[in-house]
């Protein structure tokens, strides 16, 4: 299923695509093919919820060692579309956005082999952002498999019992944002004017309840609270909140 969000070019939105593939083997030049592709859209480093996901008939048998990794058998894939049938949808979803992948040259080799076979334009290498290289720079000498990075970055990967293109792309999107520091930045609460982010100023609509809520405090409880506030001193914040005059309750 394809779902796409078209960015507004006037607001200079940065669109990126996180991509993952599953294949019948390790080398497209030895006849191995893509069996699954998953893409996640990021807009200004935030997942939009838009995705592209397809299982693909590889037009060949899937070796047992590959099935052990991703669980996609020849029988399961036999009624799925051929790559050529989904190539235009995939190209439309990717657009001209940068492509983020883990060990990106592996995915690029398979993707371009399929695109060439389908008579479509190839993806240029300079569009790639390789999270494996980013991880090696940030964690030199450490294991940088996707599972290891999820654990290191505090990302829940408990659903990943086997490799799956869409799930792996979702996890990789979180890893990528962590590697570039964008994931932490999203957790910082700051007050920013609409002009600072290039958005229009939208008035806040304050709605009035058709019927006031029934008070939950008795008059005696309110009087007791006022008496307590009076004991807190002239600088108590509650005095401002309750609009109490100085020197009295």
Could you list the active site residues? 163
Q: Tokens for 35?
A: 């069996």
Residue 210 to residues 205, 213, 214, 217, 243, Cα–Cα distance (Å): 15, 10, 12, 21, 26
Closest to 77 (Cα-Cα) out of 107, 37, 109: 37
Q: Which residue has the tokens 């006022």?
A: 226
Taking the C-alpha atoms of residue 100 and residue 169, their distance in angstroms, rounded to an integer, is: 9
Taking the C-alpha atoms of residue 4 and residue 9, their distance in angstroms, rounded to an integer, is: 15
Phi, psi of 75 (to 5 degrees): -65, -45
């Amino acid at each position: 299923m394809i779902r796409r969000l078209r960015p507004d070019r006037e607001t200079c939105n940065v669109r990126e695509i996180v991509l993952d593939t599953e294949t019948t083997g390790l080398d497209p030049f030895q006849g191995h093919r893509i069996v699954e592709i998953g893409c996640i859209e990021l807009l200004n480093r935030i997942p939009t919820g838009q995705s592209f996901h397809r299982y693909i008939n590889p037009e060949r048998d899937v070796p047992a060692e590959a099935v052990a990794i991703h669980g996609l058998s020849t029988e399961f894939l036999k009624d799925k579309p051929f790559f050529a049938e989904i190539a235009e949808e995939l190209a439309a979803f990717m657009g001209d956005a940068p492509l983020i992948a883990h060990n990106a040259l592996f995915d690029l080799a398979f993707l371009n082999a399929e695109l060439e076979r389908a008579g479509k334009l190839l993806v240029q290498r300079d569009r790639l952002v390789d999270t494996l290289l980013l991880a090696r720079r940030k964690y030199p000498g450490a294991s940088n498999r996707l599972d290891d990075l999820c654990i290191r970055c505090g990302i829940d990967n408990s659903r990943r019992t086997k490799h799956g293109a869409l799930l792996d792309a979702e996890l990789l999107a979180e890893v990528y944002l962590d590697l570039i520091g964008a994931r932490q930045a999203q957790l910082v609460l700051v007050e920013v004017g609409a002009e600072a982010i290039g958005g229009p100023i939208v008035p806040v609509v304050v709605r009035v309840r058709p019927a006031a809520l029934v008070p939950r405090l008795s008059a005696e409880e309110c009087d007791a609270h006022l008496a307590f506030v009076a004991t807190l001193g002239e600088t108590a914040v509650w005095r401002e909140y309750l609009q109490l005059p100085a020197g009295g309750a």
